[in-house]
Amino acid sequence: MVNYEVVDYTLKPVEGDDQVELVIHASDGSRWEYGIPFSRSTGRYMFEEIDVLEMDFGEDFSAQLTAELDALVAKLVG
């Protein structure tokens, strides 16, 4: 069940760190912030909260976000 709608979000690398910043602005006025660490040697990242985002914002948003995160991390380690 979707609880909120995404008004906007940003996904960008954290300068000087092996981390990606995710900031989501939700329809209820709340702001969600995450730091997502990744490995430059393997290209792997850990973002266990994606399941929570899927429950709160829906499967379409979580799939889109995962694809964008995969592409960004691949670019950063490539």
38-73 pLDDT, tens digit each: 999 999 999 999 999 999 899 999 999 999 999 999
From its phi and psi, is residue 74 left (phi > 0), alpha (psi between -120 and 50) or beta?
A: alpha
- CB-CB neighbours of 71 under 10 Å: 11
How many helices (DSSP H) and strands (DSSP E) are in the chain? 2, 3
Q: What percent of the chain has pLDDT over 70?
A: 97
The helix-helix angle for 50-57 and 59-77 (nearest 10°) equals 140
Give CA torsion, residues 70, 71, 77, 78, to 10 deg. 140
Whole-model pTM: value is: 0.88
